Structure 1
Amino acid sequence: MESPDPRERLLQLAERRGASLSALSRLVGKNPSYLQQFVRKGSPRKLEEQDRATLARFFGVDEEQLGKSKDISSASNDPAPQTWIDVPRLMQGVSAGHGAMGEGEHAFDAVRFSARWLRSMGLEPRMLSAITVQGDSMEPTLRDGDEILVDRSLRPPRDGIHVVRLDDILLVKRLDMGRAGMVMLVSDNAAYRAIECRLDEVQVIGRVVWKGGRI
């Protein structure tokens, strides 16, 4: 089977992930126009090995889709291809306080997870994002500066900790779906009052499925 053109494939993967070429260029440590020139002008003629490997892990695909020559002799000896997945870290934070405005959803870095662990959690890598928590309203569960993994898979809203958008403000709150047509945005910190609103007033961005932070 003919290998896909790496430039076309890169554009397809970037569009599917919602990542700009400039953000992906920064991800591999290059200037913002690096991948734009690769795709539009054919310069460089092929991706550098390290850059190709980083992008392949980010998208969760084989490097051959981005231009790596197929090595038949080594393919059969590789017991665990695609062992790691790089989940994009978004520039914006989500408020666990009085509210923070979103500053654009551009990836500036990535957090690496075991592909096997993600599968065991029932998570689809392309639907995941990592975002930083801002504020103290979700303490002690989530603290200011914690990194959270958000699953953006489309599912009906349910109880649990989610990232939501309310009046163009991104919040991380615990959802209480106890009343029909309504939702309570609950803080784990008792100093903050719950916010009651209609379901059509809130956009559920995704469910928080993991956290990490300093000890």
Structure 2
Amino acid sequence: CSIDWLLTGEGEPFSNAELPKATTYDTLGNPVDIDEFIFVPRYDIHAAAGHGQLVGDEKPMFTMAFRRYWIENYVTRDTKNLSVISVKGDSMEGVLNDGDTILINRSETTPRDGLYVLRINENLLVKRLQVIPGGIVNVISANEAYPAFEIDLNKMTEDVAIIGRVEWFGRII
């Protein structure tokens, strides 16, 4: 491959193996192999742990790095369906707090028992889902001040959607 491709677009492009690799260092000054990480888009969207936050502009602000081994072995190999957003509100207080950061696996939209991000009308909510017989899902808040409600999976309408499963959270203490 020649440098002419970079200037004219003619010939063969560089393969990744031919590209010079930038050296990246951790906070202790040790070299880090950047290929060991997956960079997940971080959106300025809030999943409300309360009454709901309107979904705004869905362009990522930046990306967050996660270890490739952890993501591919414990979360998913389908990494294009991962997103990071924030939690807003107090309905999940003690489990997910206001300001927590959550990693969402958007390929996990068939509910199982666990934490999920839902869209109800134009609002995003983060709640615990509990699957019960008959295609019913209990939507539960950790804060008892917020009543539980049910979603009938057999009668889903356009105003309700399961966005994805919460796989990880981060918190400032």
Calculate the TM-score normalised by the size of structure 2: 0.75
Q: Name which of 184, 188, 192 aligns with 2:146.
A: 192
**Distance of aligned partners of 1:85 and 1:186 in 2 relative to their CA distance in 1, 3 Å threshold:** same
Matched, 1:70 2:49: no
Aligned to 2:69: 116
Residue equivalent to 1:87? 40
TM-aligned CA deviation for residue 139 of structure 1: 1.1
2:57 is the counterpart of 1:104? yes
Aligned equivalents of 1:155 and 1:185: distance in 2? Answer: 14
Cα distance in 2 for partners of 1:144, 1:122 equals 24
Residue in structure 2 matched with residue 205 of structure 1 by the alignment: 163
CA RMSD of aligned residues (A): 2.7
Structure 1 distance, partners of 2:162, 2:87, is 16
Specify the SS of the correspondent of 1:174: strand
Q: CA deviation at 1:184?
A: 1.7
* Cα distance change of structure 1 residues 100 and 45 upon mapping to structure 2, 3 Å threshold: farther
Name the CA distance, whole Å, in 2 between partners of 1:142 and 1:81.
30
For residue 111 of structure 2, give the secondary structure of its aligned residue in structure 1. coil
The answer for the alignment partner of 1:142 in structure 2 is 96
**Does residue 111 of structure 2 align to residue 157 of structure 1?**
yes
> Which sections of structure 2, spanning at least 5 residues, go unmatched?
21-32
Q: 1:178 to 1:69 in 2, by over 3 A?
A: closer
The CA distance in 1 between the partners of 2:70 and 2:135, in whole Å, is 35
Does the Cα contact within 8 Å between 2:103 and 2:169 map onto a contact in 1?
A: yes
Larger fraction in strand: 2
Per-residue deviation, 1:120: 2.3
Runs (4+) of structure 1 moved beyond 4 Å?
none
- Identical-residue share of aligned pairs (%): 39
Structure 1 unpaired stretches of 5+: 3-41, 47-63, 73-79
> Structure 1: how far apart are the matches of 2:108 and 2:96?
23
Q: Which amino acid counterpart does residue 143 of structure 2 have in structure 1?
A: N
2 CA distance for matches of 1:100 and 1:114? 30
> Within 1, Cα distance between the matches of 2:8 and 2:82?
31
For 1:105, the aligned partner's letter is: E
RCO (CA 8 Å, sep 6+): is it higher in 1 or 2? Answer: 2
Equivalent in 155, 168, 173 of residue 122 of structure 2: 168
Give the TM-score of the pair, scaled to structure 1. Answer: 0.62
